[in-house]
Homo-oligomer: A and B are copies of this chain.
Amino acid sequence: MHLLIIGAAGMIGRKLAERVAATGLIGGEPVDRLTLADVIEPDVAADFSGTRAAAVADLTVPGTAEQLIADRPDVIVHLAAIVSGEAEADFDKGYAINLDGTRALFEAVRLIEGYVPRLIYASSLAVFGAPFPDRIGDEFHLTPLTSYGTQKAVGELLLDDYSRRGFLDGIGIRFPTICIRPGKPNAAASGFFSGILREPLNGLPAVLPVPDTLRHWHASPRAAVGFVDHAAGLDTGLMGHRRNLTMPGVSATVADQIAALRDVAGENAVALIRREPDETVHGIVSGWARDFDTRRALDLGFQAEASFREIIHVYIEDELDGALPS
């Protein structure tokens, strides 16, 4: 089958392409053709044995979506988006890319007669906004408190409607916060969730800007790629007309994260974390959801880690070749 990944230069897109190149499979089916698209040149997955192509493509440019799907890929993974902070800072750009870009893709698919690809749409926990219960269930309403979250929620509604009408076969995935993100620290408000583990695991100091009691919802990059892979092979007949799912994850406080770090890497690693309260960061992340009851996704076979120890071990296996630096 032919797999198209839009937003292939991002962290999940890259890891998904690597996994497909390594296994030759998506959703359990052989992939003989892989097309990677992003607004910047994506890696071409050089070790993929089938036909591969990389495209620089911007969904906001008229005709781009049509070109990308002209060869009718069987599975489309739509990860392209601008992030929360930028969508809040630039109202027009956020709506143009996250809403109109997504709609352009759905429209291009709709307008090809008889073409009904599996379309996996990256949504976000940002569709939820406080106040909410301590544990959010599958039937809680979407009340985003950012333009990004609004745009993602609109995409979910469109995905449901286009699927119901038979124009595409959609699954929307609300990713947990991805932890431990590989690479260097970044400026995102959520960056410390990964930083307080990643830096100490690499023998480097890290800053913790929030209280230990802060609770949030996490899954590893490997789990995130696994969600997409599972969605690609899922029988959507089991989902009815509700095609958007909150993904499973680990609900953990910062204290839980630090305890797991202590278990895995010892007290010296924990000592590298410096507490430096930042009210701005705390203000942002304290409004985020803390815990979810993801019964639907679990019943449909989606899987994440069971503990933060496991999340740390995934990082060590996937990013540090299986062992802590000596």
Known: A129-B241, A165-B91. A140 touches B139 (CB 8 A): yes
Which one, B143, B144, B154, B164, contacts A145 given CB within 8 A? B164
- Asked if A161 CB lies within 8 Å of chain B CBs, one says yes
Q: Could you name 7 residue pairs across A and B whose Cβ atoms are closer than 8 Å?
A: A139-B140, A139-B141, A141-B141, A141-B142, A144-B157, A153-B157, A154-B158
A140 to chain B, nearest CB (A): 6
Interface centre among A143, A145, A161, A242 (most CB of B within 10 A): A161
- Asked if A220 CB lies within 8 Å of chain B CBs, one says no
Bound: A242/B143 CA distance, A: 7
**What is the oligomeric copy number?**
2
Known: A91-B165, A154-B154. A160 touches B141 (CB 8 A): no
Number of interface residues of A (CB under 8 A): 21
A278 to chain B, nearest CB (A): 23
Contacts of A140 in B (CB 8 A): 139, 141
Bound: A324/B150 CA distance, A: 50
- Asked if A251 CB lies within 8 Å of chain B CBs, one says no
Contacts of A139 in B (CB 8 A): 140-141
Interface string of A200-221 (1 = CB under 8 A from B): 0000000000000000000000
Bound: A91/B145 CA distance, A: 29
Q: Across the interface, do B165 and A144 meet the contact criterion of CB distance under 8 Å?
A: no
Q: A142-B142, A143-B241, A145-B164 are in contact. List 12 more A-B contacts (CB 8 A).
A: A129-B241, A139-B140, A139-B141, A141-B141, A143-B160, A143-B242, A144-B157, A145-B241, A147-B165, A150-B157, A150-B161, A154-B154
Bound: A241/B241 CA distance, A: 28
A104 to chain B, nearest CB (A): 13
Bound: A147/B163 CA distance, A: 11
Which one, B143, B150, B153, B160, contacts A144 given CB within 8 A? B160
Contacts of A160 in B (CB 8 A): 143-144, 150
Bound: A91/B162 CA distance, A: 10
Bound: A142/B241 CA distance, A: 12
Contacts of A143 in B (CB 8 A): 160, 241-242
Contacts of A164 in B (CB 8 A): 145
A153 to chain B, nearest CB (A): 5
Q: Across the interface, do B158 and A150 meet the contact criterion of CB distance under 8 Å?
A: yes
Interface residues of A in 135-188 (CB under 8 A from B): 139-145, 147, 150, 153-154, 157-158, 160-161, 164-165
Interface residues of A in 225-253 (CB under 8 A from B): 241-242
